[in-house]
Amino acid sequence: MSKITAFASGVNEAREIRGFALAGIPIGASASNLRETAIKDLEEMQGPVFLDSGAFSEVSYSPDTKQLELTKPITPKEWRRRLAIYLRLAHALGSNLSVVAPDRVGDQEETLRRLAQYRQELKQLAELGVHILIPLQLGRRTHEEFYAAAKEAAGVPLVPAFTMKKAATSLSDAERFLASVRPARVHLLGMGLVNKRADEVLAMIRRTSPATAITMDSNRIRAVTGKSRRMTATEQAFRDTNPENLFNEVESPVLAASNYRLDYTESISSPSQWASNALLREIAFSSGFDLSEMHAFFGDPDGFLCRSLPGTDTCYWENPVVAHAVDRAWASYVKCEVHAHVRTAAIRHTFHTEAA
C-alpha cells in the first residue's frame, strides 16, 4: 500500500513551527510569509518539510466572469526572493525538503514560462536533493502532456501535484494521469486526511497506481481555532494558568508542553541574557541608580552587578533594593515567556495524539 505523508500547511510562525515539530506533525510553510526566526527553526527540522511558493495568492475567483483572474501578480524580483529561501533551506534540509515550483494557478503557459525562467534555481535545488513539485494546471494540454512539457521546461525531475482547491483537478483527470504515468510520488495540494473527499481520492490513487507514494497538505490550525473550537479553548486554558516556583526551576504547564525550561538560579546572574532593554531600564530606575551607574549598568549589566557599591565591600547584587528590582524583572520576564509559548503548547497539546 502507498505511503501517506500529511503536512500541516500554512505554518509560517516560529511558535507554530515549534508546536507542530513537538507534536511530530510534518510541517508545511509558505515562502511568501516566512520571517527570519521561522526560517531558522525550519533549518533545524529533522523530518520532512513542505514549502509552498504562495502562488495561490496571485489569483482570485471572479463572480462576474466565473473564472480565476490575476489580481496580485508576483514579480520576478519577488520570485527570486522566495527561491532564495528555498535554496537556503535546501542547504540545511536536503532531501527532507519538498518545494512547489514557480507556477501560476490555472495557467499552463505562464507556468511553463516560469519553469524555464527559473531553470537554473531549480537545477540547484535538484542537485541538493530537494523534491520539486509541479502543480498540474488546467488548460489546453492534458495533465500528461503538461507534465511532460513541464519536465522539459524545468530540466529537472518533477513530482506531479494535483490541485485540490483553486482550479481543482477532477477525479477522472487524476485517474487517467496516474494510469498513464504511474509516478513514484504524487502530492495533493490543499487536501488533508480529514477532507470529505480524501477517502475517495486516496482510494482511487491506491487502486490506479498502488506503488505511488502520496503526500498531501492542508491548513490544520484553521480547523481547530475559533469560537468553541478545541485549540482555542486549550490556548485560553493555558493563558489562565500562572507559573509557579519562580525563584527556582519555573513550573508551568505551558513551558512543559513547549519543552522549554526557565531556571532562576542558572539565569538570574546574567540579566544580559534574558532582560530586554525595557526590563534593564526598570531594574536601573527601581534600584535608584544615578546617571553614571545607569551608563555602566546598560553597558555591562552582568559585570556591573558584581562591582562593589561605592565606599563598601558589598557588591550591587547584595544590595536588597537592587536584588528586589532584579527579581521583579525576572518575574516579568517569566510571565512574558510563558505567554509567548502558549501557541506552541496549544498546538502540541492539540495534535500530539495524531502523530502517536
Residue 11 and residue 182: Cα distance in Å, rounded? 31
Query: Is the pLDDT assigned to residue 241 strictly greater than 90?
Result: yes
SS3 36: helix
Domains of the chain: 4-220 (3.20.20.150), 261-340 (no CATH)
For the segment 95-120, what is each residue's pLDDT rounded down to a tens digit? 999 999 999 988 999 999 999 999 99
- The CA distances from residue 323 to 16, 34, 178, 264, 320, in Å, are 36, 40, 70, 13, 5
Query: Is the pLDDT assigned to residue 163 strictly greater than 60?
Result: yes
Residue 87 and residue 99: Cα distance in Å, rounded? 10
First vs last C-alpha separation in the chain: 20
Neighbouring C-beta atoms of residue 299, cutoff 10 Å: 9
Using only the alpha carbons of the chain, give its radius of gyration: 26
C-alpha cell belonging to residue 264: 532562576
Residue 18 and residue 42: Cα distance in Å, rounded? 9
Concatenated DSSP letters for 179-196? HHH--SEEEEET--TTST
pLDDT at position 166 is 61
For the segment 244-256, what is each residue's pLDDT rounded down to a tens digit? 999 999 999 999 9
- The CA distances from residue 35 to 41, 82, 142, in Å, are 10, 12, 38
Neighbouring C-beta atoms of residue 270, cutoff 10 Å: 12
C-alpha cell belonging to residue 173: 483527470
Mean pLDDT value of segment 18-46: 96
pLDDT at position 167 is 64
Provide the mean pLDDT of the chain: 94
Task: Tell me what percent of the residues of the chain surpass a pLDDT of 90.
Answer: 86
In this structure, are strands 27-30 and 49-52 parallel, antiparallel, or unpaired? parallel
Mean pLDDT value of segment 41-54: 95
Query: Is the pLDDT assigned to residue 200 strictly greater than 80?
Result: yes
pLDDT at position 169 is 87
pLDDT at position 61 is 75
Split at pLDDT 50, 70, 90, the class of 1 is low
Query: Is the pLDDT assigned to residue 355 strictly greater than 70?
Result: no
